[in-house]
């Protein structure tokens, strides 16, 4: 930004100076006086062939039509008019132009030649007085300090070999590296391949307008003048007298002409050359400058596509065997509203980020708002997946030993924090005769958290929420656990109570800031309760509160076996991670998160590369492999099987986590069968992932 401001301020003052001095430019010019030899030369040489450099925008270059353009062209038009000779322009090839090439090309003159001692002493060329004087500047990455005595590398284009000799004398400790073009030199400095480059200030200002070079800076260095002149190519040696005489005459004519052009006219040509040939932004420049907004847009598009897929899938399941068109329309209308509201917010925030990409503080604020909205979308996706899964003909729940007291402590900790933030009184009461039962602990906790979260949302500040549990033995020897969540919040009307377990059901007037929900929590909880051999019922009165009763049946079990021997405490060490991920953006985010959390991490673009990297690594190099499931060439399932089959000690012990958005029971079973140890769901919860890795 500072660089652009400095550039525009400088141009403003130069233009202002030219406007103030317009009268001398327009004044009549005294005709030039040429000697008889010079007049004869002009008469016999009506057109001169001039070679020009093609890659020095805006000083000397070929435009989109292949014509000579730039500051030099405007100056040469003056020269042609004053000396009475026409100029034919011939582009010089890229790279170092040799003396033999210039002779064979039958050129009369070469432009953009540096006016220095090296060229003044060179055999075979005669140079004119400078027609354009500026400066050379040093270009380096931010943070680099120019030190003429240090061992630094300089990027130099192959067409600047005279500059190479000058720099070698000025900076004997510097290492000069040839590159085929100016932009290749900029790329080398930008990537760190070279420390710096030295080039004409006008050329540098042009290229630094390219967004990808935003981290490069200009360092003014005294003693680096850049004076450009004409060079006459002449023969030397025996029989070259006429060629050299003609060359000297031509140079004398040019010197008189150059001297007749005023500084104001040169300044006018310079400004016109810069203003007419400013850097034009390309699509890639736009994508780079707004890369973060583009990535956010890409993520948003992916979210929209996933949600559209889920919408169609859920619609098909929901309307199966239903002929009621009204119900179908209501479902689509409600779902459309649920998706459009947060998506509209994300799209709006994305547009604001694009428009204010240079305002870091505002973009950070928009990103925080985007995170909240994206989290709501994620909860909607999770609930939609639950609804889709639970509407299967034969949904399954896991069966494991559930330590109810430990689970209640977890629920209590989470609920206390949420209730306290809203200023609610919260209490947990329980009497567990059978603290260990066989069931799906995650689903039981899900229902309890859904009920507590609803109570928190619809209870005003200063209110009260209570969770109480009790148990009794059924006739068939199972345990019936009853959990009651009660509050003294806003309650529900009798009309709304009739549809409370319908999907997306929310009572009008209760959805406000802080009460946003998907409207799927209660239908999901009711379905889960029924699958657990229980039910979800309620009582409620408007403006007095609600009470939800969740029951589930499970068989009592013995406490899990625990070792009495205390394991020695070991110092935690972070395992090296191998992440297999084919999506470039997801891979970049995952690797960056791991490294910021103190882990060493390597990336494999697909399962085959992951297998190859692991098999070629030393035994014990990798402690954990994060394996995406759907990848080209070899998917995560095949890669995990192949790694487990390797004949090396750590092939059986390395931890392999499925890191994927495919979270169905079928995918989990298939991952376990292929040799994977655990499951990490996308979008990745960084805290949970780090905890798993540290374990």
Q: Residue 611's closest CA among 586, 648, 583?
A: 648
| Residue 82: band (very low, low, confident or very high) from pLDDT cuts 50, 70, 90 | very high
107 in Cβ contact with 51 (< 8 Å): yes
Signed CA dihedral, 554, 557, 559, 562: sign only: negative
Q: Does 669 lie in the same domain as 538?
A: no
Number of domains in the chain: 4
Mean pLDDT computed over 182-190 = 92
Q: How far, in Å, CA of 260 to CA of 272, rounded?
A: 20
What's the chain's average pLDDT?
A: 81
Window from 61-70, 102-111, 502-511 with minimum mean pLDDT: 502-511
Is 525 part of any domain?
yes
- In the listed set 526, 556, 586, which residue is the last one of a domain according to the structure? 556
276, part of any domain:
yes
Q: Which of 166-180, 557-571, 610-624 is modeled with the greatest confidence? A: 610-624
> What Å distances lie between residue 495 and 401, 492, 505, 506, 510, CA to CA?
41, 8, 12, 11, 14
Res 641 pLDDT > 70: yes
Looking at residues 9-14, what average pLDDT do you find?
47
Token pair for 495: 């009309």
Q: What is the CATH number of the domain that holds 212?
A: 3.40.190.290
Tens of pLDDT, residues 333-357? 555 555 655 666 667 667 777 777 7
Cis-peptide, bond into residue 58, ω within 30° of zero = yes
Whether residues 173 and 100 fall in one domain: yes
* Residues 87, 172 share a domain: yes
User: What's the pLDDT at 239?
Assistant: 73
Residues whose CB falls within 8 Å of the CB of residue 503, separated by 6 or more in sequence, listed in order: 318, 331, 334, 387, 519, 520, 523
Q: Do 320 and 271 share a structural domain?
A: no
Same domain assignment for residues 203 and 132: yes
The β-bridge partners of 354 are none
| 270 — pLDDT class (breaks 50, 70, 90) | very high
End of a domain among 492, 522, 556?
556
Q: What angle do CA 185, 191, 195 make, to 5 degrees?
A: 65
pLDDT exceeds 90 at position 615: yes
Of the three residues 338, 363, 390, the one that is the final residue of a domain is 390
**Per-residue model confidence (pLDDT) at position 486:** 95
CATH code, 485: 3.30.565.10
- Between CA 452 and CA 552 the distance in angstroms is 17
Domain of residue 248 covers: 2-284
What is d(CA 529, CA 532) in angstroms, rounded to the nearest whole number? 5
DSSP 129-178: --SEEEEEEEEEETTPPP-TTS--EEEEETT-HHHHHHHHHH-TTPEEEE
Same domain membership, residue 104 and residue 202: yes
Q: To 5 degrees, how large is the angle CA 355–CA 357–CA 363?
A: 100
Same-domain pairing of 205 and 135: yes
Average pLDDT value for residue range 375-397: 62
pLDDT computed for residue 238 by the predictor: 73
142 and 217 co-located in one domain: yes
pLDDT computed for residue 318 by the predictor: 65
N-to-C CA span, the chain: 46
User: Which CATH number goes with the domain that contains 669?
Assistant: 3.40.50.2300
Q: Are residues 237 and 308 in the same domain?
A: no
* pLDDT at residue 453, rounded to an integer: 87
Whether 236 maps to a domain, the answer reads yes
Residue 587 lies in a domain: yes
Inter-residue contact 532 to 439 (CB < 8 Å):
yes
Claim to verify: residue 368 and residue 480 sit in the same structural domain: no
Q: Is there a single domain that holds both residue 279 and residue 314?
A: no
Which residues fall within 8 angstroms of residue 313, CB to CB, at 6 or more apart?
388
Please give the pLDDT value at position 330.
54
Question: Looking at the domain assignment, is residue 562 inside a domain?
Answer: no
* Residue 484 resides in a domain: yes
- Give the mean model confidence (pLDDT) for residues 150-167: 81
Check residues 322 and 220 and name the one with the higher pLDDT.
220
């Amino acid at each position: 930004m500072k660089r652009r401001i400095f550039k525009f301020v400088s141009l403003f003052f130069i233009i202002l100076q030219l406007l103030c001095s317009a009268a001398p430019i327009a004044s009549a010019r005294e005709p030039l006086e040429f000697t008889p030899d010079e007049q004869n030369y002009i008469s016999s040489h009506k057109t001169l062939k001039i070679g020009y450099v093609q890659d020095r925008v805006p000083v000397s270059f070929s435009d989109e039509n292949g014509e000579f353009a730039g500051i030099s062209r405007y100056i040469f038009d003056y020269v042609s008019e004053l000396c009475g000779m026409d100029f034919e322009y011939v582009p010089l090839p890229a790279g170092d132009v040799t003396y033999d090439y210039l002779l064979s090309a039958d050129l009369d003159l070469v432009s953009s030649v540096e006016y220095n001692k090296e060229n003044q002493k060179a055999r075979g060329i005669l140079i004119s007085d400078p027609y354009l004087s500026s400066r050379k500047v040093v270009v380096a990455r931010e943070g680099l300090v120019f030190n003429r005595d240090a061992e630094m590398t300089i990027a130099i284009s192959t067409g600047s070999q005279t500059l190479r000799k000058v720099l070698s004398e000025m900076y004997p400790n510097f290492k000069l590296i040839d590159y085929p073009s100016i932009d290749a030199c900029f790329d080398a400095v930008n990537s760190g391949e070279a420390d710096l480059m030295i080039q004409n200030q006008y050329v540098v200002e042009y290229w630094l307008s390219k967004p990808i070079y935003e981290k490069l800076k200009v360092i003014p260095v005294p003693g680096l003048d850049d004076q450009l002149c004409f060079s006459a190519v002449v023969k030397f040696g025996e029989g070259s007298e006429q060629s050299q005489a003609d060359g000297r005459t031509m140079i004398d004519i040019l010197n008189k002409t150059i001297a007749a052009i005023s500084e104001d006219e040169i300044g006018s040509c310079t400004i016109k050359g810069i203003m007419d040939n400013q850097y034009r932004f390309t699509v890639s420049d736009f994508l780079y400058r707004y890369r973060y907004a583009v990535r956010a847009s890409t993520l948003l598009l992916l979210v929209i596509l996933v949600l559209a897929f889920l919408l169609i899938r859920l619609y098909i399941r929901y309307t199966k065997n239903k002929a009621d068109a009204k119900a179908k329309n209501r479902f689509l209308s409600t779902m459309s509203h649920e998706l459009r509201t947060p998506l509209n917010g994300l799209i709006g925030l994305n547009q604001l980020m694009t428009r204010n990409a240079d305002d870091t503080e505002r973009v950070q604020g928009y990103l925080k708002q985007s995170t909240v909205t994206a989290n709501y979308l994620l909860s909607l996706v999770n609930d939609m997946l639950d609804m889709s899964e639970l509407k299967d003909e034969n949904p399954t729940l896991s069966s494991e030993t559930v330590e109810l007291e430990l689970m209640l402590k977890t629920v209590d900790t989470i609920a206390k924090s949420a209730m306290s933030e809203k200023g609610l009184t919260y209490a947990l009461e329980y009497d567990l005769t059978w603290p260990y039962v066989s069931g799906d602990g995650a689903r039981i906790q899900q229902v309890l958290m859904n009920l507590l979260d609803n109570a928190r949302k619809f209870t005003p500040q200063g209110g009260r929420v209570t969770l109480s549990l009790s148990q009794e033995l059924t006739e068939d020897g199972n345990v019936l656990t009853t959990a009651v969540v009660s509050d003294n919040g806003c309650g529900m009307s009798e009309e709304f109570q009739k549809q409370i377990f319908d999907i997306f059901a929310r009572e009008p007037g209760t959805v406000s800031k802080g009460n946003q929900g998907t409207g799927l929590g209660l239908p999901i909880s009711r379905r889960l309760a029924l699958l657990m051999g229980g039910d979800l019922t309620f009582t409620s009165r408007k403006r007095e509160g609600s009470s939800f009763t969740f029951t589930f049946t499970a068989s009592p079990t013995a406490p899990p076996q625990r070792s009495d021997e205390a394991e020695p405490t070991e110092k935690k060490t972070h395992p090296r991670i191998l992440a297999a991920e084919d999506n470039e953006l997801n891979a970049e985010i995952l690797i960056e998160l791991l490294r910021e959390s103190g882990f060493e991490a390597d990336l494999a673009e697909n399962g085959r590369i992951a297998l190859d990297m692991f098999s070629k690594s030393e035994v014990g190099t990798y402690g954990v492999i994060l394996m995406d499931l759907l990848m080209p060439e070899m998917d995560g399932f095949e890669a995990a099987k192949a790694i487990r089959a390797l004949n090396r000690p750590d092939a059986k012990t390395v931890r392999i986590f499925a890191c994927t958005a495919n979270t169905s029971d079928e995918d989990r079973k298939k991952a376990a069968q292929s040799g994977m140890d655990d499951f990490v769901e996308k979008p990745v919860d960084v805290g949970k992932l780090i905890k798993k890795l540290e374990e």
